[in-house]
Structure 1
């Protein structure tokens, strides 16, 4: 089906409305702990600090911090700013998925992919209300696959494929494991080389394409590394890789799932079982219709499967983790779901079961939407007049957290340090106070020096989480007893003031 500029404008406008509709209720929600740490570091960059110098990111590459810096440059240093920028990223991701589905499958696949992407990335229990880095990194990962398919379809010069690598590098600069799209395009090149192995120049073409993609990946990464090295921060920069390997090997997770697919499959099932089941059927259909691989259509199908499987693997190779890990699975998952729905619809239609086709496809789409609304009820119920239990709504819970932030701001000056012994590090950003050491996260308190550094004479408050949820080592207990006094408790958080 041919898309006219007018039709594309209508679709693009519709996507804008959908993004606003689904993201608007999240704008005033407190930044999650990761996003608040990103915001804190971006704020320091706004004030002239250099990343990895006075403050370190622990195991994260610089992509997300410069993204937050961009948000602050555009909209000001406000908690809402990264979420406003994210709306633009989500629109870009949805539009790219629409183009990917339309150009390489059909119009309906593109439309459903875009709709499901906005829906699935807004799921409450899949970090859908946050500004986690996966939300931003999904865009260059989708763009990597789309650009590759477009260039491959046109049989473009190998030199053009350097931009595929550049887009892949942009995703890596958010997190080093964000390589499922690069894996998929590498697989596609090797598959094409195998299928065309009898044609002259096939091997040379494959090697050149892979080489250009490799160069495209290397250039941004070397430029970033060279930038920090030129600033005398090479040792500080490579520290993130050491800490990253330690983080990856950390097995102190609350729940362990079968590696590598158990965790993402569980999280996806808990959030939208219909979406997952239909995607599983879609995977089966893609395998059946693409094997044995013979043509471009089967290459696209198998590359999509490689993208989805690689995403599932990288989201779950640790055997557990946090909700937002699974967000990188959403783009290939929703595309596979859309393919299954449209393929089934067309098959029933060809069998002269038009009414059945419409009812079947419509029912599946409605069930996916109902699953989403059910999972997000705790967010949306606040906006329903007269709904009971409003005291447990997001605004009510956030009011308790702001009580802590306001207390810290009222009882400290900008020159005072605070230290947060908790996984929730929002006080640094919301109270606008600095820590006495270079890494915010308590789990890295010993990464760059003795943990007792937190007992700096200028550390006016140490904010300590409930011991049931966050372990207190002996050195922390001793230091609190020697230098601090318990001043007050705000809900489950204890505030120790310097004696």
Structure 2
């Protein structure tokens, strides 16, 4: 049985009115998605998140273990996907992941088209399918063109709503689990899924199918819980729980650079509103039969706010419900008005694409220059430490990190511009500094790159790191854009050997 929006039951699924509906729509959507992803090919990578994932994938492919030899605050699904892509296609570029990001957007567009078609017919399906790739470009290209977490959340969330709308509770649970295992905030789609299934169960009770409706929640729970438990068991259960749930309290706070963070949130909201320039007057009319979509939008907005960082890529989670709400408002309008709205949205999309193709990327250039210097100063087998927030330097330089902590943020709580009293050794992830110093003692890095460049996590503000540099390293005279290179001091290895065997210095 096929279900429409809450409170209204549609007729049973019927044969499509046009036999070639998907045969005609799919190529058009594929072409549109490809065009909107062209800027992603301009640079080797777009954001530190891509760099972090690339470094993680290399470590995992070399036998590392997630949440043990390399750590992050994210669930394991996307690191595993990167690892698989690197294993199959090589780890020297991210083109395989860029292709998978295209596929993720295409799948999202198709699923949204299917949801809209189920509810409102063929024309609505086409509108929704076209709107998704257009609106999904409506942020800073660093946020929309990178193959990162939010991009891969989108098809799971759309699939969860499509399955829930058709009463397929178990499949909806699996889709929610996929979103949750990609990023924690992906689990927000569970709220509208529960809303839909509740209304489906209520309709089933009125029609005499109450038993089937009551079976929905257990199937949903099984579909959701079993994959999450499986992921925990495939990694380290304690590490999985710590890094994805309990270990991020300091990160998910509003203290530190409040004005900076609020400005970022307002700026990204304005960008997304600009992307919807052809739609706001229509969106307010999308009320009847769209309660679940408004619930979806509200739950996604809560997910954007969670953590109080307001990064642009967080806002991508708003796009699927916005697409369906816009479709609900546009579908009863005259075709000329619909065409005008889509044309306006398309023109704004072109502006964002031009931004992605033409704007410089100074931080990427800096990371590439650092990587060039690292390669010149070290051998391929050397381990290095990049003390900064650009883990892509490891990947660009093709050097192994000396620590499981790939950024200074995990050790100091510096992230997204947060500074002031909330940054320092005591604000890092619980238990991280003893592990970090033990790693550096066991396998001292051949090179340390201080890429803090005056930020609050500079070594002179961190007693442990400052003492380590003073005792065992000396700076090189040359710098790169303010980044300082430290190499092992001549007497450092002798001092460590003496300490290991209990000999007095110089003995």
Q: Deviations over 1:109-135 (max 9, x none)?
A: 222222221122234506111011110
Q: 1:95 aligns with which of 96, 104, 110?
A: 110
Look up the match of 2:345: 368
Q: 2:371 aligns with which of 386, 397, 405?
A: 405
1:419-438 alignment runs, 5 A limit: 419-438=385-404
Q: Distance in 1 between matches of 2:360 and 2:330?
A: 35
Look up the match of 2:446: 460
SS at match of 1:471: coil
Look up the match of 1:315: 304
Q: 5+ residue gaps in structure 2?
A: 1-14, 412-427, 490-507
Look up the match of 1:489: 479
SS at match of 1:318: coil
Look up the match of 1:143: 159
Q: Deviations over 1:184-210 (max 9, x none)?
A: 0101233455677766564x5443212
| CA gap 1:257/1:407 in 2 versus in 1, 3 angstroms | closer
Look up the match of 1:439: 405
Asked if the contact 1:272/1:371 (under 8 Å) is kept, the reply is no
Please identify, of 362-371 and 15-24, the stretch whose mean Cα deviation from structure 2 is larger. Answer: 362-371
Q: Distance in 1 between matches of 2:364 and 2:68?
A: 32
Q: Deviations over 1:448-487 (max 9, x none)?
A: 3335457546312222234444432232344334433332
Q: 1:29 aligns with which of 43, 59, 63?
A: 43
1:73-152 alignment runs, 5 A limit: 73-77=87-91, 78-123=93-138, 125=140, 127-150=143-166, 152=167
Look up the match of 1:164: 172
**How many residue pairs align between the two structures?**
447
| CA gap 1:410/1:306 in 2 versus in 1, 3 angstroms | same
| CA gap 1:466/1:449 in 2 versus in 1, 3 angstroms | closer
| CA gap 1:222/1:482 in 2 versus in 1, 3 angstroms | same
SS at match of 1:189: helix
Please identify, of 14-23 and 212-221, the stretch whose mean Cα deviation from structure 2 is larger. Answer: 14-23
How far is 1:64 from its partner?
A: 0.8
Look up the match of 2:24: 10
Q: Distance in 2 between matches of 1:163 and 1:362?
A: 35
SS at match of 2:487: strand
Q: Distance in 1 between matches of 2:387 and 2:228?
A: 34
Q: Distance in 1 between matches of 2:247 and 2:217?
A: 30
Q: Distance in 1 between matches of 2:275 and 2:472?
A: 55
Q: Distance in 1 between matches of 2:446 and 2:104?
A: 39
TM-score (norm 1): 0.81
Asked if the contact 1:279/1:334 (under 8 Å) is kept, the reply is no
TM-score (norm 2): 0.80
| CA gap 1:169/1:253 in 2 versus in 1, 3 angstroms | farther
| CA gap 1:252/1:112 in 2 versus in 1, 3 angstroms | farther
Q: 5+ residue gaps in structure 1?
A: 153-159, 291-297, 350-356, 382-391
1:249 aligns with 2:253: yes
Q: 1:183 aligns with which of 172, 191, 194?
A: 191
Q: Distance in 2 between matches of 1:11 and 1:119?
A: 16
Q: Distance in 2 between matches of 1:317 and 1:169?
A: 19
How far is 1:225 from its partner?
A: 1.9
Q: Distance in 2 between matches of 1:51 and 1:182?
A: 26
How far is 1:333 from its partner?
A: 1.0
| CA gap 1:9/1:255 in 2 versus in 1, 3 angstroms | farther
Q: 1:65 aligns with which of 74, 79, 98?
A: 79
How far is 1:162 from its partner?
A: 1.3
Q: Deviations over 1:91-147 (max 9, x none)?
A: 111111111112212323222222221122234506111011110111111001011
